[in-house]
Amino acid sequence: MSSLRRSPEPGPERTAPVPIFGSCSLPLTYIYLVRYISCSVYMKLLQIYRCLCDETRLRILHLLTQGPLCVCHLQGILRLSQVAISKHLAYLRSNGLVVAQRHEKWMIYRLPERAPAELDLQLRCLQDCVQTHPVFRKDLKKLKEMRCERQWIECVTQTKERQMR
């Protein structure tokens, strides 16, 4: 009888060999991340893309590029419940993509004044991409129709900005 020798199972002590590049023995992904993208930028990009992977959140961000809005305005445009819109806004806010401001009983949402470069780039890309999409064009049309209803928001946000300075 011949005895067959089993090769050891890969485990923490047995990992695949790491390719050696010049004098460096680091994996390519590590080299790429460290050399081209800092870890914090990488994590910020992941947060942004997670936020952008939902159509409702894309529509909200697209509308907020036009200026600050109240939840009730987003409700009227998107035809969604207040709870659904608030949950999306809370998610965007927790990831730093929108800023909230309370005025009496209303919550006013806007994009951050100093958006991170990663977010700014994605929002510019969004503006280019949605120009031909009928849903986003319809949203903008509804937003323009309610211009008179949302003028008070601009007055409130401008007044609060002046007070903060």
Question: How do residues 40-53 score in pLDDT, each as one tens digit?
Answer: 666 677 777 788 88
Q: What percent of the chain is modeled with pLDDT above 70?
A: 63
CA nearest 22: which of 14, 11, 31?
31
Residue 18 has pLDDT above 50, yes or no: no
Question: Alpha-carbon torsion 120, 122, 126, 129, what sign?
Answer: positive
Q: What is the pLDDT of residues 46-87, one digit of tens each?
A: 777 788 889 999 999 999 999 999 999 999 999 999 999 999
Between 15 and 126, where is the model more confident? Answer: 126
**Structural domains of the chain, ranges and CATH numbers in brackets:** 28-157 (1.10.10.10)
Q: Can you tell me the mean pLDDT for 132-141?
A: 92
Q: By the 8 A CB rule, do 116 and 44 touch?
A: yes
C-alpha dihedral sign at 116, 120, 123, 129: negative
- Rounded to two decimals, the pTM is 0.67
The answer to whether residue 91 scores a pLDDT higher than 90 is yes
Q: Please provide residue 146's backbone torsions phi and psi, each rounded to the nearest 5 degrees.
A: -100, 25
